[in-house]
């Protein structure tokens, strides 16, 4: 086993045990730990920004962390953190495309598998996953309800890749419950009729989960209203993914992207907000591209 992972697991297990009763100090220790072991400039910038945010004792991230530590199985929290943070972000940041042929391009750190026919020769789950994984992608956002696959195919893919992290966007009870394991976070449709039931079931077993909300021009004012995140938090959603639909204009996308950026720096509620396309573009950097562009996504929906 990777020595770094052994060290990570020891520290995480020790600190997460204390997290419920000493959340503020534990969170600051985790950030200090990340700063010390950062292997790249981008990672150090991330942890220094986190350190700056947490210097405010009133930061809503303390409430977010406390809610998370109380409701999630700590072993699963540690494993998901290692898969996402260490294997997903740290390892992928070291990936170099120098070994690729001249006509090949490095794939993104994080990629989206939308499930519709973007490329006629490669529109299945396994094909899209393999294309990204072979180039170094370790974080996958999969829109399960829009793609044809068998549960055995998805299960085998996840089991064979325990060091990759998967975000499964779904309304399916079977998918959400069955695949909520150590390197997987189900992301539930907040507008589906079974969201509350699935959220309660996942909380009962201490599973990680998030929620997603699709938006277009008509939803821009709803998202930025004062009570929107309050309602999200009351529905036990700690991780919110905002996903634009085909009716979203570029100006609305920029507005929601700005909203998400502001909530990360100065959160008004204990909810972590991600504007999916914009954040993935920032994560993958200027020399990498999300596996599909926003314009391509609109053609698929």
What pLDDT tens digit does each residue of the chain (301 aa) get?
577 778 778 877 777 777 778 889 888 988 888 787 776 777 788 888 899 999 998 999 999 998 988 888 888 888 888 888 888 887 766 554 444 444 455 567 888 888 554 444 445 788 889 888 887 889 999 999 888 788 899 999 999 999 999 999 999 999 999 988 889 999 999 999 999 999 999 999 899 899 999 999 999 999 999 899 999 999 999 999 999 988 899 999 999 999 999 999 999 999 999 999 888 888 876 544 455 545 455 444 4
Regarding whether 145 and 33 lie in a shared domain, the answer is no
pLDDT of residue 107: 61
Q: Which of 49, 71, 93 lies at the terminal end of a domain, its last residue?
A: 71
Residue 101 to residues 104, 146, 262, Cα–Cα distance (Å): 5, 32, 40
Cα distance between the two ends of the chain: 42
pLDDT of residue 23: 87
Residue 82 falls within a domain, yes or no? Answer: no
Regarding whether 239 and 138 lie in a shared domain, the answer is yes
Regarding whether 48 and 150 lie in a shared domain, the answer is no
Regarding whether 166 and 246 lie in a shared domain, the answer is yes
Please list, in sequence order, all residues whose beta carbon lies within 8 angstroms of the beta carbon of residue 167, skipping any fewer than 6 positions away: 139, 140, 141, 142, 184, 185, 187, 210, 241
CATH of the domain at 227: 3.20.20.70
Regarding whether 127 and 248 lie in a shared domain, the answer is yes
Into how many domains does the chain fold? 2
pLDDT of residue 292: 52
Residue 90 falls within a domain, yes or no? Answer: no
pLDDT of residue 94: 56
- Domain boundaries, position 137: 102-300
């Amino acid at each position: 086993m990777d020595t770094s992972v052994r060290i990570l697991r020891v520290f995480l297990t020790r600190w997460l045990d204390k997290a419920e009763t000493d959340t503020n100090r534990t969170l600051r220790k985790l950030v200090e730990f990340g700063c010390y072991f950062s292997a790249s400039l981008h990672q150090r910038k991330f942890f220094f920004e986190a350190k700056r945010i947490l210097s405010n004792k009133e930061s809503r991230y303390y409430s977010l962390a406390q809610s998370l530590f109380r409701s999630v199985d700590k072993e699963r929290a540690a494993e998901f953190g290692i898969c996402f943070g260490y294997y997903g972000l740290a390892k992928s940041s070291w990936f170099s495309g120098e070994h690729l042929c001249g006509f090949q391009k490095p794939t993104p750190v994080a990629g989206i598998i939308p499930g519709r026919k973007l490329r006629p020769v490669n529109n299945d789950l396994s094909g899209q996953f393999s294309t990204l994984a072979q180039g170094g992608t370790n974080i996958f956002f999969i829109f399960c309800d829009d793609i044809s696959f068998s549960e055995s195919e998805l299960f085998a893919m996840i089991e064979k890749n325990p060091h990759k992290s998967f975000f499964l966007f779904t309304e399916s009870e079977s998918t959400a419950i069955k695949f909520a394991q150590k390197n997987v976070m189900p992301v539930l449709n907040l507008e589906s009729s079974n969201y509350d039931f699935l959220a309660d079931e996942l909380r009962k077993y201490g599973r990680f989960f998030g929620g997603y909300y699709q938006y277009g021009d008509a939803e821009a004012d709803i998202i930025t209203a004062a009570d929107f995140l309050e309602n999200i938090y009351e529905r036990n959603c700690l991780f919110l993914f905002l996903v634009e639909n085909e009716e979203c204009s570029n100006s609305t996308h920029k507005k929601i992207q700005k909203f998400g950026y502001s909530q990360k720096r100065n959160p008004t509620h204990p909810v972590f907000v991600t504007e999916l396309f914009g954040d993935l573009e920032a994560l993958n950097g200027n020399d990498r591209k999300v596996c599909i562009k926003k314009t391509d996504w609109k053609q698929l929906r």
